[in-house]
């Protein structure tokens, strides 16, 4: 079935059908309905390859995320898809499983498939991945972190400041012995920056982190929170509060405390980061940092679309997404 058959059935010119299908110029609603009806009746499918050659665009955005089960990344993808849909674009989603080699392969594949642009949420951006990014000839936007020396737009939360605010809240509740369950330091955003924020808050109070109260885990899973808290509890002197680098870790930490009969927050207060659904489901409800993965995905895609429209901006641009401290029951006590 060809576009000529659609035009004949709708009683319009081929050019008018093309304007409706490509949304290039406005037409009357009545004409639009006739053409759309003709398309449905004929089963016509536009030739995507021919269209991309004419428009110099494929209408496809490559999206790479580390994992799909994490609610943070599902919210991110929803934000990306929402903006892409508004701009008549579609996303091709790939999951890297936190494997830098796979991320490099995916970047090359997306470029070879002539994506209009790429949005990358990588847990770790090392030297080799940095070089692949620098070699890309299509625009891309980073989400979460951008290592030094890489010139690319980046959308992120101020993790360091937010972590400092959580720790300062614990200090304000009267805690003087504060530990942390952190993620791996190679994760610049959720690992390193959140630890630095915790350290900053202690430094402002005139203290330094005590090694026996800091557990740097290999990931950000619930079981990492369990292991981290068990490690901290082996210290001769226990902290009275623990800040966890994410809510799933905090849930695991609370489970570890409950299994030992340690009351939260009466004996040890616990705070998290991300304000996931679990933060309000667990008891006591979790004090945490709220931010919007949807907004991060939205802003990253808007920035990419602006680049595709030729709207200039600094390649070093950092687009911040707001955050806020949500105080709940898990830190309601004081020491």
Over residues 203-222, the pLDDT tens digits come to 999 999 999 999 999 999 99
225 or 2, which is more confident? 225
For the four alpha carbons of 181, 184, 186 and 187, in that order, the dihedral sign comes to negative
SS3 of residue 158 by DSSP: coil
Place of tokens 């579609």: 90
pLDDT at 95: 95
pLDDT at 305: 94
Residues 87 and 187 occupy one common structural domain: no
Range name among 68-77, 121-130, 226-235 with the lowest pLDDT average: 121-130
Helices (H), 43-93: 48-55, 71-86
In the chain, the number of structural domains is: 3
| Total-model pTM | 0.82
Residues 230 and 253 occupy one common structural domain: yes
Structural domain includes residue 225: yes
pLDDT at 146: 83
The counts of H helices and E strands in the chain are 13, 12
Residues 111 and 192 occupy one common structural domain: no
For position 228, which CATH number holds? 3.40.50.2300
Place of tokens 């809510």: 247
Q: Judge if the upstream peptide bond of residue 265 is cis by omega within 30 degrees of 0.
A: yes
Look at residue 49 and tell me whether its pLDDT is greater than 60: no
Residues 149 and 262 occupy one common structural domain: no
pLDDT at 122: 87
Look at residue 79 and tell me whether its pLDDT is greater than 90: yes
pLDDT at 57: 67
Residues 193 and 280 occupy one common structural domain: yes
pLDDT at 217: 95
Q: What is the pLDDT of residues 288-311, one digit of tens each?
A: 999 999 999 999 999 999 999 888
Q: Report residue 54's pLDDT band, with 50, 70 and 90 as the boundaries.
A: very low
DSSP-derived secondary structure for 123-154: S---HHHHHHHHH-SS-EEEES---TT--S-E
Residues 140 and 210 occupy one common structural domain: no
Residues 115 and 23 occupy one common structural domain: no
Residues 242 and 271 occupy one common structural domain: yes
Structural domain includes residue 51: no
Average pLDDT on 31-35 reads: 88
Structural domain includes residue 168: yes
The range of the structural domain enclosing residue 189 comes to 159-291+325-331
């Amino acid at each position: 079935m060809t576009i000529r058959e659609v035009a004949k059935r709708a009683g319009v010119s081929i050019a008018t059908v093309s304007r409706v299908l490509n949304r290039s110029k406005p037409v009357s609603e009545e004409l639009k309905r006739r053409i759309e009806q003709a398309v449905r009746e004929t089963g016509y499918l536009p030739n995507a390859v021919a269209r991309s050659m004419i428009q110099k665009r494929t209408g496809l955005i490559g999206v790479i995320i580390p994992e799909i089960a994490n609610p943070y990344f599902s919210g991110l993808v929803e934000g990306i898809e929402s903006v892409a849909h508004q701009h008549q674009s579609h996303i091709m989603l790939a999951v890297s499983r936190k494997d830098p080699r796979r991320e490099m392969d995916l970047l090359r594949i997306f470029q070879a498939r002539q994506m209009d642009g790429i949005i990358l949420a990588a847990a770790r951006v090392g030297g080799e991945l940095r070089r692949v990014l620098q070699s890309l000839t299509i625009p891309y936007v980073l989400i979460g972190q951008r290592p030094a020396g890489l010139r690319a737009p980046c959308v992120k939360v101020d993790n360091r400041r937010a972590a400092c605010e959580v720790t300062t809240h614990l200090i304000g509740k009267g805690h003087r012995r504060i530990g942390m369950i952190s993620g791996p330091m190679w994760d610049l955003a959720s690992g390193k920056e959140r630890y630095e924020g915790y350290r900053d808050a202690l430094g402002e109070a005139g203290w330094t982190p005590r090694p026996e109260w800091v557990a740097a885990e290999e990931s950000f899973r619930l079981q990492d929170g369990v292991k981290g808290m068990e490690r901290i509890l082996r210290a001769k002197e226990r902290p009275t509060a623990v800040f966890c680098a994410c809510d799933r870790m905090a849930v695991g930490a609370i489970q570890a405390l409950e299994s030992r009969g340690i009351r939260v927050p009466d004996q040890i207060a616990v705070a998290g980061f991300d304000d996931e659904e679990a933060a309000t489901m667990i008891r006591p409800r979790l004090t945490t940092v709220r931010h919007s993965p949807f907004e991060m995905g939205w802003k990253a895609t808007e920035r990419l679309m602006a680049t595709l429209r030729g709207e200039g901006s600094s390649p070093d641009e950092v687009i911040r997404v707001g955050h806020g401290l949500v105080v709940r029951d898990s830190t309601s006590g004081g020491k």
